Homo-oligomer: A and B are copies of this chain.
Amino acid sequence: MTEQNLQILLASRPTGRPTPDNFKLVRTPIPVPGEGQVLLKIRYLSLDPYMRGRMSAAKSYAAAVEIGEVMEAGTVGEVLESRHPDYEPGDMVLSYSGWQSYAVADANALRKLDPDQAPLTTALGVLGMPGFTAYAGLLTLGQPKPGETVVVAAASGPVGSAVGQIAKIRGARAIGIAGGAKKCALVRDEFGFDAAVDHHSPTFAEDLRAACPDGIDVYFENVGGKVWDAVFPLLNTFARIPVCGLIAQYNATGAFEGPDRLPVLMRDVLTKSLTIRGFIQREFSDQRPAFYQDMAGWIADGRVKHKEDIVQGLESAPEAFIGLLEGRNFGKLIVEVA
């Protein structure tokens, strides 16, 4: 092969909002698989908000990407060479191969995909990590009951859209928060939420209150910031708040200005018997088989829909990712690498 591997490395750690300078595109030789490994040609890579955390050195649930390392990502790739009996050239697999065009991966870290059963890209979205985050977080921690009100932000995105649709399947009212009329229309008309509330509106807090006349029983937290402030006074007694992301504060630097909202939060935690529970989906890995079965069924019978925003070329990944943190994507953001 005369071709080379294109890779995007973490060049420097961002201070606040990431910039294109924090990434570096390099060309390296295509790697060679060892025993028990496969060589993959990456077709698609997933861009997700959690990657902002990996760019920082701050302690988190996963180790940071080191400077000079390939940026992390879930990927869909095609097996070019296999040194494992379970895989052969042409197989399509899910792996965590990062922002690059070729990769070597251990066969035991792969999941084989069947392109006839579902489009390959869904393994990065509705049938992948974001869909599973919604499924496990909502059902295990949120526990919506029929007639309850479930609120989720970033509702046009892959996690939020699944949260609302699963809430509806469970008989709850689903209220989605999204930025702008176009996203709100998607949330309401395509994903079937009971209402969509635009957080760009100057009357956002009042609009949310009007959309939740019975208060909020489950708030699936993935953004934080001003959305939290609007949600907080509407929380009902025994409300559950699974927390899987805080995109609004990922780019924050330094201390946060007062007043201090912690004592007010804790007061309501106490007087309303609230449950706040952070999680990452891998904690619930034993639910994956149930998820694949349920979600595939819901997609097949039209009860769960999804929307993808696919950008072309690995070189586009940094700008697309920066835009993701600002809500510029429209649906699940995926890079078509090859």
Q: Using a Cβ–Cβ cut-off of 8 Å, how many residues does chain A contribute to the interface with B? A: 41
- Is A1 engaged at the interface, CB distance under 8 Å to the other chain? no
- Is A139 engaged at the interface, CB distance under 8 Å to the other chain? no
Contacts A237-B61, A258-B257 hold; do A224 and B274 have CB atoms under 8 A apart? Answer: no
- Is A264 engaged at the interface, CB distance under 8 Å to the other chain? yes
B266 touches A255 (CB 8 A): no
Could you tell me which residues of chain A, from 47 to 98, have a CB within 8 Å of some CB in chain B?
Answer: 53, 59-61
Q: A139-150, CB under 8 A of B: which get 1 and which 0?
A: 000000000000
A61 touches B277 (CB 8 A): no
B270 touches A243 (CB 8 A): yes
Q: A274 to chain B: which residues have CB within 8 Å?
A: 276-278
A275, B278: Cα distance in complex, Å: 7
B256 touches A243 (CB 8 A): no
Contacts A265-B265, A275-B277, A276-B275 hold; do A270 and B258 have CB atoms under 8 A apart? Answer: no
Question: Which of B263, B264, B272, B278 is in CB contact (< 8 Å) with A271?
Answer: B278
Question: Which of B245, B275, B283 is in CB contact (< 8 Å) with A270?
Answer: B245
- Is A32 engaged at the interface, CB distance under 8 Å to the other chain? no
B224 touches A243 (CB 8 A): no
A266, B261: Cα distance in complex, Å: 11
A278 touches B270 (CB 8 A): yes
A237, B260: Cα distance in complex, Å: 24
- Is A109 engaged at the interface, CB distance under 8 Å to the other chain? no
A271, B63: Cα distance in complex, Å: 11
Query: How far does the Cβ of A234 sit from chain B's closest Cβ, in whole Å?
Result: 13
Question: Could you show 27 A-B contacts with beta carbons less than 8 Å apart?
Answer: A53-B271, A61-B271, A221-B266, A224-B263, A243-B266, A245-B270, A246-B263, A246-B270, A249-B267, A256-B260, A256-B261, A256-B263, A256-B264, A257-B259, A258-B258, A258-B259, A258-B260, A259-B260, A265-B265, A269-B276, A272-B278, A273-B279, A273-B280, A273-B283, A275-B276, A275-B278, A276-B276
